[in-house]
């Protein structure tokens, strides 16, 4: 299969299998409005996604944005909302409409997809570094705090609470860390998606002083091995420019881009 054919096949699988309830396993509520899925999560978070925009023209897209903002504006418990856009969608005027309605774009990320077996090779670790899966609350909170620090965010309980809730639901999500001398130096989660061929790898973060030593690649390989044990053949990830080259070297393919747009209640 040629690379363009492979990219098209993987992107078709992504659109068909992942742009559904599979995208929001920990949702509190999901409300459908035309093609939109308006989702609420713990911590006052809202989320907007869709398989496509139903062929809407520029005026129709603007109307969908307006309706979505009105919906979340009417939910006082929701303080911030993410609109998840994809670069391959037909969405005329979406960027301009989102800006006009108070959204701010993050940097685009690469949608990466590939065969789980391509990532599952054993990767040697630096001396003194070990990998393990975590389930206990102190470990989960320490992992979440490390990720906040690496991503330049204030350390908060919000993500840790969400992860602990997910673990209580026993929905197959797994949390993995790398440690050195009892300190978490890298982390990420695995999310096998029920009813699909996919498992997602998310939240990958490594402390700057430990980068470039194969630790994140080893953590990714270990998660891929677990995905295969769950019967998943494909891995997907939204990757920053830090992790994209690592995943490409493991055989994943960039099939599109995704840009989160964020709205915060004033």
Structure tokens that stand for 221 in this block? 């390989």
> Mean pLDDT in each 10-residue stretch from start to end of the chain (266 residues)?
84 95 89 97 94 97 98 97 97 98 97 92 94 97 96 89 90 95 96 95 93 92 96 94 83 94 96
Q: At what angle do helices 158-169 and 137-150 cross, to 10 degrees?
A: 140
Which domains can be identified in the chain, with CATH numbers?
Answer: 22-110+260-264 (3.40.630), 114-257 (3.40.630.30)
Structure tokens that stand for 37 in this block? 């899925």
Q: 33-41: long-range contacts at Cβ-Cβ below 8 A with a sequence spacing of 24 or more?
A: 33/64, 33/67, 33/68, 33/71, 34/64, 34/67, 35/64, 36/64, 36/67, 36/68, 38/68, 38/71, 38/72, 40/75, 40/77, 40/78, 41/162
Residues 6+ positions from 138 with CB-CB distance below 8 Å: none
pLDDT score for 92: 98
CB 171 within 8 A of CB 164: no
Structure tokens that stand for 158 in this block? 């919000």
Label each residue of 86-127 as H, E or C: ECCCCCCCHHHHHHHCCCEECCCEEEEEEEHHHHCCCCCCCC
pTM, full prediction = 0.87
Among the listed residues 190, 182, 258, 179, the one whose alpha carbon sits nearest the alpha carbon of residue 220:
190
pLDDT score for 1: 60
């Amino acid at each position: 299969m040629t690379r363009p054919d492979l990219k098209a096949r993987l992107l078709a699988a992504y659109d068909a299998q992942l742009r559904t309830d599979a995208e929001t396993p920990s949702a509190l509520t999901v409300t459908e409005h035309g093609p939109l899925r308006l989702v609420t999560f713990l911590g006052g978070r809202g989320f907007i996604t869709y398989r496509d925009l139903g062929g809407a023209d520029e005026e129709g897209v603007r109307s969908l944005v307006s309706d979505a903002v009105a919906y979340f504006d009417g939910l006082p418990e929701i303080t911030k909302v993410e609109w998840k856009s994809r670069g391959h969608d037909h969405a005329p005027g979406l960027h301009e409409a989102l800006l006009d309605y108070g959204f701010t774009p993050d940097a685009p990320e690469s949608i990466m997809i590939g065969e789980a077996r391509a990532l599952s090779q054993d990767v040697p670790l630096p001396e003194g570094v070990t990998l393990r899966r975590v389930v206990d609350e102190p470990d989960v909170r320490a992992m979440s705090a490390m990720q906040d620090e690496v991503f330049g965010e204030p350390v908060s309980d919000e993500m840790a609470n969400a992860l602990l809730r997910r673990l209580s639901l026993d929905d197959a999500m797994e949390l993995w860390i790398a440690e050195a001398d009892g300190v978490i130096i890298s982390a990420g989660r695995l999310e096998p998606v029920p009813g699909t061929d996919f498992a997602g790898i998310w939240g990958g973060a490594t402390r700057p002083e430990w980068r470039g030593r194969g630790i994140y690649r080893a953590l990714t390989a270990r998660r891929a091995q677990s995905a295969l044990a769950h019967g998943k053949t494909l891995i997907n990830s939204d990757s920053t420019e830090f992790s994209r080259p690592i995943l490409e070297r493991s055989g994943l393919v960039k099939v599109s881009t995704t840009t989160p747009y964020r709205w915060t209640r004033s």
